[in-house]
Amino acid sequence: MANKSLILGAGQAAGTFNNAQSGFNAGMAQSGPTEIAMMAMRDAMYKARQDEVELKNYVGSMETIDVSKVEESMRPEVNQFLIKNRNDYAAAAKKASELDASDPGYLEAVNKMNSIDAAFKNLSANMDGFKNKRDQYYEDDRNNSISQASNRESLDAMFKNSEYDIVINPTGGFSIGTGESYVDYSEFDKDGDYNYFLVNNEGFNNIMTLTNKAQNGAAKIEGGLEDNYRYQLNQMFNTMGREDMESMIYDTVISDTPLNKVPGNGWDDDLLLMENDSKLRKWLSENYLKSLKQVAAGSYAQKRAEANRKISDAARRSRKIAEAKQRVEESSTSNFDLSTPEGEAAATAYLIKKNNDAAEEVTLPPGEEQ
């Protein structure tokens, strides 16, 4: 990264610019400047200034950080880091300019410059990353998308905050104070309190699809049907990621009670241990199957109850009609209470019978008999 000509120019600028004016003044004091001496002095001063400008441009071209994007409470620490390292960078450039490229000290100075430039880039990327994570957390929180399996207390304390105590290390990494300790920003991408995950909507949608199927089927889940549902659930949970499984345990998307809090479900916190991963997957499959069987049994019972009610209603209607006909046959009057279904049915039966009786008594005129 280091430009040899610029570094050499920086070194020349540092020595020449500092001494050119004093040399000029000394010459003036002793014998008065000759025209040639004055021209040489002006050239030296001009070159020194040009070299100084070139050095400043070189230092100015190094990686920097837009402090305006940094949370206000973090800015003092960031500014202090920038000032110190810019000074160290300039000192390393000056040292390199004074040495031959074959000198070990030259390589050391250049490596120092490179490490500072890399630290600036790293810090800038880390600050951007933290800001993006914080903005994303606010959005996910507004959308109620964050899984209850995440540590919401720690997350809220970290991201719903504007006062930050940070420590920046020499490589551009930084740690954030959490009260009793500091958390390195690199930990945010690892499994822990500050790497949250979202509700497993896809998994819950799949469960809802199976639930609707069990509801609409209205058949007890047993035998071959049970094997079919178990196969589908095993396929789903055996290919599910760790965080998605935890969401299926703790989030209350399709129930008011987290699955691990349902009485009698055989939950054990040790199921969360990595060595029990296969047991956890089986536990999820069996407990969601149990829920599906309960839904199917309830739907089956409801369907049977509705069928029995229809049979009972039909039998009751038939019985009432038969009773009404019996009353008509036994009655010699046509007075019926039409305000009730029974009375109306009896009146109808009476009129039908009366018309049939009248038709049987009709005598056709002579010549029209069939």
Q: Is residue 271 part of a domain?
A: yes
What does the pLDDT read at residue 225? 95
Q: Is residue 49 part of a domain?
A: no
The pLDDT score that the predictor gives to residue 287 is: 96
Does residue 261 belong to any structural domain of this protein?
yes
Question: What is the C-alpha to C-alpha distance for residues 299 and 312, in angstroms, rounded to an integer?
Answer: 20
pLDDT of residue 354: 67
Q: How far is CA 260 from CA 149, 235, 287, in A?
A: 12, 21, 10
- Looking at residue 99, its pLDDT comes to 87
Among 243, 242, 249, 247, smallest CA distance to 268 is for: 249
Q: How many domains does the chain have?
A: 1
Residue 359, domain member (yes or no): no
pLDDT for position 295: 94
Contact 344, 338 (CB under 8 A): yes
Model pLDDT, residue 13: 43
The reply to whether 285 falls in a domain is: yes
pLDDT of residue 355: 66
pLDDT at 263: 92
Residue 289 in any domain: the answer is yes
Quick one: pLDDT at residue 215?
A: 93
- Contacts of residues 99-107 at CB distance under 8 Å and 24 or more positions apart, as own/partner, are 101/4
- Give residue 363's identity as a one-letter amino acid code: T
C-alpha distances (whole Å) from 337 to each of 28, 323, 328, 350, 355 are 140, 15, 13, 12, 20
Asked if residue 240 is part of any domain, the answer here is yes
From the list 85, 96, 91, the residue with the least C-alpha distance to 120 is 85
Rounded CA-CA distance 357/299 in Å is: 51
Which residues form the domain of 262?
A: 202-305
Q: What is the pLDDT along the chain (370 residues), one digit of tens a residue?
A: 455 555 554 444 444 434 444 444 544 455 556 777 677 777 666 655 655 555 555 555 556 678 888 899 999 999 999 999 999 998 998 898 888 888 999 999 999 999 999 999 999 999 999 999 999 999 999 999 999 999 999 999 999 998 999 999 999 999 999 888 999 999 998 888 899 999 999 999 999 999 999 999 999 999 999 999 999 999 999 999 999 999 999 999 988 999 999 999 999 999 999 999 999 999 999 999 999 999 999 999 988 888 888 888 888 888 877 777 676 666 644 566 666 777 777 777 767 776 666 555 545 455 544 4
In a domain? residue 70? no
